[in-house]
Amino acid sequence: MKQHISPDVVSWAFLISACGVDGQVKKALSYYEAMLGNDIQPDDKLYTSVLNACSHSGNIAEAEKLFKDMTTHGISPNAYHYTCLVDTYARAGKLDNAERVLLSMQEPHPVPWRALMGACRIHNDTIRAVRAATMLYKLDPEDASPYILLSNLYSANGNQEKSKQVVKLMEERRVKKPPGKSHIYVDGKLYSFTVDEQEYDFMERIHARLDKERARITEENGYIPDLSCVARDFSTNNEKVKYLWKHSEKLAIAWGMLNTPEGTTLSVTKDLRMCLDCHTATKLLSNHTTRKIKIRDASRWHTFENGRCSCGDLY
């Protein structure tokens, strides 16, 4: 006789997480309800999975209900639960709610504050970004990301003086930005790239492919390089554009395109958050291919397909 094995909370969390990554929010929530109906006691990781799925839809009512459910089950929200809630509010444009929730935390944590910082960039909220950055300077003094995001936000709004002041403050405090590194497997071999990578002898082929792709998305999609994403000083805008197209994830994508047949999914991992220009460019690149392009950055998985990203442009 076959023994029936009932799924435990780990299995349910896996199912819900998979649905969330794939954007199937309703299915994720239905699995959550089915789990409760089977008298399975949820744990903190399960709530991270279901809240993360919920954040993709910006369903505030559902996210707030889940937070209440947690306390009913004797679970105290942790930093990752708050991050999901902040993402949910941010997706709905409710940054006041997001900041209010973070200020209510008994023990502030940098992860959800970074999520708010990213939301400020998306919604062009410089004033709130200053407050978030100030908090992050205290919570994680060695983290360069709030300086870079705030500097880029000022730059995007034409305030170059403020942008330079933030960079100067970062230098005075000796905060170092680690070079971003992206990785891709091709034919079972791992290739790693950093910005303006010169280690491999095939870099000319990569740059030629990227030049071709940039020309195409400029002509056919009206691509405009986001020069606010360039943290270095260059004398001309042309130099800034060239530097943008040497970012590590672009290099990895080009190498994958050169070495795999059309239709093959490209999976890239990056240890830092994608910049806005790389995100926009990859969306446009996905318009001209039958591939999925998946990038796991420091924030989340991004699945690019048919000119769209699974994150809904909020990351």
How confident is the model at residue 272, as a pLDDT?
84
Cα angle 124-122-130, degrees, rounded to a multiple of 5: 50
Task: Determine the Cα–Cα distance for residues 25 and 32; give it in Å rounded to an integer.
Answer: 11
DSSP reduced 3-state for 148: helix
Asked if 309 and 289 touch (Cβ cutoff 8 Å), the reply is: no
How confident is the model at residue 6, as a pLDDT?
57
The hierarchical CATH code for the domain 9-172 is 1.25.40.10
Tell me the pTM.
Answer: 0.77
How confident is the model at residue 197, as a pLDDT?
65
Alpha-helical runs (H) found in the chain: 9-21, 25-37, 44-55, 60-72, 79-91, 95-103, 110-122, 126-139, 145-156, 160-172, 203-221, 237-244, 248-259, 276-285
**Rounded to the nearest 5°, which phi and psi values hold at 278?**
-65, -40
How confident is the model at residue 4, as a pLDDT?
47
Query: In tens digits, what is the pLDDT along the chain, a chain of 315 residues?
Result: 444 445 788 888 888 888 876 667 888 889 888 888 888 888 999 999 999 888 877 789 999 999 998 988 899 999 999 999 998 998 888 999 999 999 999 899 999 999 999 889 888 999 999 999 999 999 999 999 899 889 989 988 888 899 989 999 999 999 988 778 999 999 999 999 998 666 788 999 999 999 999 999 999 999 999 988 887 778 788 999 999 999 999 999 999 999 999 999 999 999 888 888 999 999 999 998 889 999 998 777 889 999 999 877 766
Asked if 110 and 143 touch (Cβ cutoff 8 Å), the reply is: yes
How confident is the model at residue 9, as a pLDDT?
86
**What are the residue ranges spanned by the domains of the chain?**
9-172, 181-309
